[in-house]
A and B are shown apart, each in its own frame.
Chain A
């Protein structure tokens, strides 16, 4: 009974929910429509609850650093938790589009997010010089195609040498699209297999760690 409730029942819920959602789409059964619309609402609510996991994990990790006074870390942990509280407090109690929230958002989060996202450009630039080597057929193909695309992406060169646009157009529409399509079909097959395995209980990663009885 215990194993049924803790393991089989969640798997059954996955299967029933998935079948309902698919049945509504493929068979347009009148009875399933309102149920699936409610399910979609519930999915949004549960996803919203799940957004808090990041903050909880950070809280656990960084309070540990603070209590242990981890050297060279604990002052940053205090600052981090302060920022969590500041954003959460201003956003929840004053409003996420209030002047105050937009101020702290633009002063810190937006600038840092944009900067950190773009900083890998430096590593790519360095890697292009130090690591990209034409050592074998595959790397030669990568470099040749990449080089053509690089030159085409420079607007000045594309305007001055229109042949680059034509060559890049061919690379774009033949080898790139076809290879990506092959990858997509393979990935779709894998996703279908994974979905079916999840529904029949063969894929149980989402159950998390096992209970004593399951071990």
Chain B
């Protein structure tokens, strides 16, 4: 079923209480967007500035939520009498001995707890979710008692699953030699089909994301006073900064 929605042209007219803080925020976000995209053309000083801004902001954001989680899940129970949490606090700090030349091995203990929990959580569910359930689903595909197209599809499905699993058995090299190599070749073809599908979807993802940013620049920033003049200026400065330092008059 297909439905059609006719959309009129032009921008939405939106009532917005635009204060100075919001205006500055929009300007900064739009300029950062333009500077970040400029790397696709050439590395330049504005991109480096944007890149370092992002890395610093991301690290700071991580610290904020590290403190938040330690406070909510560690400090609060500890302050309510769960004294064992003092040990976990200590272990959390001991993680940072990793940077010490002599006592780095102390960090192995809290790491061991984290790794143990991770291994336990994933092992207990992987067997059911990614092994048994997948095999059950494959084994349950009917090749008799259904129409010929469905039977063909199901048979092809089962053959591809088996071939791909066979392809990834590297323990016995003899499995891939001689005429048995045809199974691996067939598996590679099937995987190429999957990767082709993935490639198209990856492109769809990126296009949607780029649209989101360009929509912001065009429909949120450009309508602001001065932005329409600032855009060509920003682009000229960007192009100038892309000139190699030796070839431009200033700065060297």
A and B touch in their complex, CB below 8 angstroms: yes
User: Smallest CB–CB gap between B88 and chain A, Å?
Assistant: 5
A contact residues around B222 at 8 Å (CB): none
- Which residues of A line the B interface, CB within 8 A? 6, 9-11, 13-22, 25-26, 38-56, 58, 60, 76-77, 79-88, 91-92, 96, 101, 103-125, 128, 137-139, 141-150, 152-153, 159, 162, 170-189, 191-192, 195-196, 198-199, 206-209, 211
Number of chain B residues whose Cβ lies closer than 8 Å to a Cβ of chain A = 117
- Which residues of B line the A interface, CB within 8 A? 2, 4, 21, 24-25, 28-30, 32-33, 36-37, 39-40, 48-70, 73-74, 77, 84-85, 88-89, 91-93, 95-96, 98-99, 104-105, 107-127, 130-131, 134-135, 137-138, 153, 156-158, 160-165, 167-168, 187-204, 206-207, 209-210, 212-213, 216
A contact residues around B126 at 8 Å (CB): 188, 191-192, 195
B contact residues around A52 at 8 Å (CB): 62-63, 66, 96
Chain B interface main SS type: helix
B contact residues around A118 at 8 Å (CB): 206, 209-210, 212-213
B contact residues around A106 at 8 Å (CB): 25, 29
B contact residues around A120 at 8 Å (CB): 206
Does the CB pair B24–A22 fall under 8 Å?
Answer: no
Please report the C-alpha to C-alpha distance between residue A50 and residue B126 in the assembled complex, in whole angstroms. Answer: 25
User: Smallest CB–CB gap between A213 and chain B, Å?
Assistant: 10
User: Smallest CB–CB gap between A210 and chain B, Å?
Assistant: 9
User: Smallest CB–CB gap between B207 and chain A, Å?
Assistant: 6
Does the CB pair B64–A76 fall under 8 Å?
Answer: no
Q: In the complex, what residue of chain A is closest to B102 when comparing beta carbons?
A: A211
User: Smallest CB–CB gap between A176 and chain B, Å?
Assistant: 5
